[in-house]
Amino acid sequence: WSIHLLSKHPRVQQKLKAEVTGGLVSQDLSMDRLDSFVYLDCVIKVVLRFSPPGDVVLRTLTVDGRPPNSGAQLFKGDQIVIPIHTLARDSQHWSISPDLFDPERFLGKDKYHHPYAFIPFDGGRRQCIGQDLSRFELKVIIARLIQHVTFGDGGPVVNAGDHLTRLTIMPKYVGVTIEFN
């Protein structure tokens, strides 16, 4: 998803490249240097907001209850769908249009977004146990890739995006050009 979305947003990719190369000859990826990649953190967030690999999670109620301010009565045994993707794209939870792929939102107007508007790893007790590892892996992999290559949009047909629903939500059509630099 990162490769597809960066190929569609060259401004973001160039800004990210400037951060991860930093005009330095050294391509060192020490922990300190990785920590300094604030824009990359925002890019990872916007990719996970746009295309969360898990689009919904389910919960089964263990007691009857009424969600606050909803008027709905729920019963023990009911299954609840938590719509991760829909929450991340619902304009009532975001200051800037949620359809914009803009990493900067996480440093600016949407820095203090509603905590449950953006839950790619779910929330609460059963949230993803691998989330720190995943964020770290994404950071290393994307930084390394963008230090060395530029992804270009392969065109509206081969790089159409769309998605396949499997165990996770996968990109369907990804076709990019790769320029080594």
Question: Residues interacting with ligand HEM, by CB under 6 A?
Answer: 53-54, 57, 120-122, 126, 128-130, 133-134
Per-residue tokens: 34: 């990785």
42 is in an annotated binding site: no
Per-residue tokens: 177: 């050009």
Q: In the complex with ligand HEM, which residue's Cβ is closer, 29 or 128?
A: 128
Q: Are 180 and 35 in contact (CB under 8 A)?
A: no
Least distance to ligand HEM from the beta carbon of 126, Å? 4
Least distance to ligand HEM from the beta carbon of 133, Å? 5
Q: Are 140 and 121 in contact (CB under 8 A)?
A: no
Least distance to ligand HEM from the beta carbon of 26, Å? 28
Give the DSSP letter string of 150-162.
EEEE--TTTT-EE
> Measured between alpha carbons, how far apart are the two ends of the chain, in Å?
21
Q: In the complex with ligand HEM, which residue's Cβ is closer, 56 or 74?
A: 56
Q: In the complex with ligand HEM, which residue's Cβ is closer, 110 or 122?
A: 122
Q: In the complex with ligand HEM, which residue's Cβ is closer, 133 or 140?
A: 133
Least distance to ligand HEM from the beta carbon of 93, Å? 18
Per-residue tokens: 122: 């779910």
> Residue 71: CB partners within 8 Å, gap ≥ 6?
none
**Binding-site residue ranges for heme:** 128
